[in-house]
Amino acid sequence: MTALAGVRRGIPDNDAVALLREMLTVPSFSFRERPLARYLAEAMTGLGIPARIDASGNVIGEVGRGAGPYVLLVGHLDTVPGTVAVRRVGDRLYGRGAADAKGPLAAMIVAAARYPDFPGRLVVAGAVEEETPGSGGAVHLRRSLARPDAVIVGEPGGWSNLVIGYKGRLDLFYRIRQPGSHPTRPTRTAVESAAEFWGQTAAEFDPGGHSHFDQPGLTLHCMSGDMEMAELAMCFRTPPGYDVPGLVDRLRARAQGADLEVVHEVGAVLADRRNPAARALSAAIRRQGGTPAVKVKTATSDMNTLAAVWRTPMVTYGPGNSHMDHTPNEHIEIRDYLSGAAVLDGALHELAETLPAAGRGETAGTTRDVTA
């Protein structure tokens, strides 16, 4: 696997498609993203975006000059497991990650390559571990980089849409151990206690909560046990403003002495739909002949992780149909991918002209509100 050879600055559409296809041929399941990071470090440098791999495995490229705004584009390298044969069928490009989210990341790289003289600082980051609860790559970015003046997170939403909100995530692990007893005795077994805990918890929440942004959703990931030991792993998706500490307190009381561990927690995020990043993307979508639509999602993304620390204009954008995420038929429409790259290019020009460089010099890692 080699980087694209002889690609000129300004990367034409054919080479933009070739870049994405090459990315799709490099498997990059969570915790195994290094080969793709190496490929992109070489490819991005060849496109005029000097790139490196940071301590967490993220690939970081940077262009620009002058004292203008500092803009960060963040996609993710990792995909869920599974193989989708890389192939082009008409206007569709198939492969694991075509939609989620190598397509959005490739569009960001193309846009940056088309604007090497960005009048400020333009950073493109491919983050590791987005598909895992810990979002390790995004956590490292917010610790190691200064706060940008604007952030665009790459996720599939359709080339004419932008996403301003995501639910939060709370992962919990329940464990109970108790002395064994004979099966004929009327003593409650560990697995019965776990089943009762789950039944009471599930009954508290509307089964349709995952379909509504303003309601919590609950999923049981796994359950195992016997008479002496039982375990549950569950995940809540929480809306903005939800009382997560109160929820944990109620569940601990319900557990009646069993262990209840908070494995991972990230708050919901809801950005101002009029923030500069959202406005720049909306204007660029209109210039490409589209009608911008603003959406919220009931899942979680690296936007949650970054917004927990950085109070800065932020939005999620990317070509691709999110209904293709994680499916055996994952693909992206090439027209949408190229339109997405053009929209990002236009948005960067808009931000260069309108965004003040307000955040330059702020120490990385400063704690901020959850709302972007």
CB contact at 8 A, 170 and 333 = no
| 214 among known catalytic residues | no
| Pairing, β 150-154 against β 70-76 | parallel
Residue in 62, 78, 131, 330 annotated catalytic: 78
Instruction: Indicate the SS3 state at residue 72.
Output: strand
- Which listed residue (22, 62, 100, 130) is catalytic? 130
The runs of H, that is alpha helices, within the chain are 13-24, 34-46, 102-113, 136-144, 190-204, 244-255, 276-287, 302-307, 334-354
**Per-position DSSP letters for 198-259, written without gaps between them:** HHHHHHHS-GGGGG-TTS-EEEEEEEEE-SSEEEEEEEEEE-TT--HHHHHHHHHHHHTTSE
* Helix (H) / strand (E) containing 154: strand 150-154
- Which position has the token pair 């809540």? 236
3-state secondary structure of 118: coil
Give residue 343's Cα distance to chain centre.
19
| Distances from the Cα of 75 to the Cα of 37, 78, 301, 353, 363, angstroms | 12, 9, 10, 24, 23
Helix (H) or strand (E) holding 50: none
Catalytic, 130? Answer yes
Instruction: Note the Cα 356 to chain centre separation in Å.
Output: 26
92 touches 144 (CB < 8 A): no
**Active site (catalytic) residues:** 78, 130
